[in-house]
Amino acid sequence: MRRRRWSRGAVGAWLLALVVLSALVGPELVPYDPIEPDYRARFATPSAEHWLGTDNLGRDVFARALAGGRVSLVITGAATLLALTVGLVTGLAAAGLRGPVDVVLTRAFDALLAFPGFLLVLLLVAMLGGGVGQTIAALGVAGSPLYFRLTRAFTRQELQRDYVTAGIALGASHVRLLFRHALPNFAGALAVQAASTAAAFLLVEASLSYLGLGVPLPTPSWGNVLQDARAFLTRQPWAALGPGLVLATAALAFQFVADGVRDRLDRRS
């Protein structure tokens, strides 16, 4: 097979950098406010001034897509980090302390896993109410059982190795063994999983906001920009196509990054 010059991981990293950059500086470069309505400019078709036209309130769709990217990416990143942290800490605690702590934690996370994934997020958001922080919390909680299970299994496996016995004999503390010796051995596997989780969270957040349960209007997110576009789909298809394409690209980038990290780890092991 011919050697590919661009690995999937590299393409993913560049795509992701592009998307993040556009969300970071894009809103500063576009001379339109993503939230303030302008009733004189409703339903404009795409033009040099309004690349994706304007919506039913006269807001520039391109500006809203860029500003929405900021919100969506922040939620995705923060929620992934939250799921990872919660799962990691509880997983290490369960595997390290064993006994009742292990039993209670395992039961609790099993209970969360008894819900179909999307239903759990939906119920949590309904319970907490909409908002950026609430959506992050709901996604974080719903995503944490996976990381708990992975961390617990990996840690138990590592704790049975000879180097741990040697470490105990040499007087290393429990905490030191867990964080300095066991954790680095499976951190890579968790990183791969985190990139896949981010891709999934990006799409779940969009679905939630699309349904009107995640980020409340008028704050834009990729999901609720598309919700606005749905109502005028046949009249203004470009308002739905543009932001959706960016969202799909971002999800693709996260997936490529996950594949890239996985390939790199596989080659090493």
Instruction: List residues binding other proteins (CB under 8 A).
Output: 1, 107, 110-111, 114-119, 122-123, 126-127, 129, 199, 203, 206-207, 210-213, 226, 229-230, 233-234, 237, 240-241, 244, 247-249, 251-252, 255-256
**Minimum separation from the CB atom of position 168 to other proteins (A):** 31
How far apart (Å, rounded) are the C-alpha atoms in residues 242 and 69?
12
DSSP string, 180-213: IIIHHHHHHHHHHHHHHHHHHHHHHHHHHHHTTS
> Least distance from C-beta 94 to other proteins, angstroms?
16
Residue 112 Cβ, how far from other proteins at the closest point, in Å? 9
Give whichever of 158 and 259 is closer to other proteins, judged by the CB atom. Answer: 259
Q: Work out how close the CB of 176 gets to other proteins at its nearest, in angstroms, rounded to a whole number.
A: 34
Q: Please identify, using beta-carbon distances, which residue of 177 and 194 lies nearer to other proteins.
A: 194
Nearer to other proteins, 86 or 182 (CB): 86
Tokens representing 219 are 């704050």
Least distance between other proteins and beta carbon 28 (Å): 26
Q: What CA–CA distance (Å, rounded) separates 146 from 109?
A: 9
Nearer residue to other proteins within complex by CB, 33 or 263? 263
**Least gap, CB of 1 to other proteins (angstroms):** 6
**Which of 253-267 are b and which e, b meaning 16 or more Cβ less than 10 Å from the residue's Cβ?**
bbbbbbbbbbeeeee
Residue pointed to by tokens 């900021």: 70
Cα dihedral: 36, 39, 41, 42 (round 10): 100
* DSSP class of 221: -
Nearest residue (CB) to other proteins, 15 versus 164? 15
For other proteins, give the closer residue by CB, 155 or 255: 255
CB of 239 to other proteins, least distance (A): 10
Q: For residue 126, how many other CB atoms are within 10 A of its CB?
A: 12
User: How far apart (Å, rounded) are the C-alpha atoms in residues 135 and 87?
Assistant: 18
Q: How far apart are CA 69 and CA 22, in angstroms?
A: 8
Which residues does residue 60 pair with via DSSP β-bridges, in sequence order? 54
Answer for the pair 155, 93: CB distance below 8 angstroms, yes or no: no
> Which residue number, 53 or 167, has a Cβ lying nearer to other proteins?
53
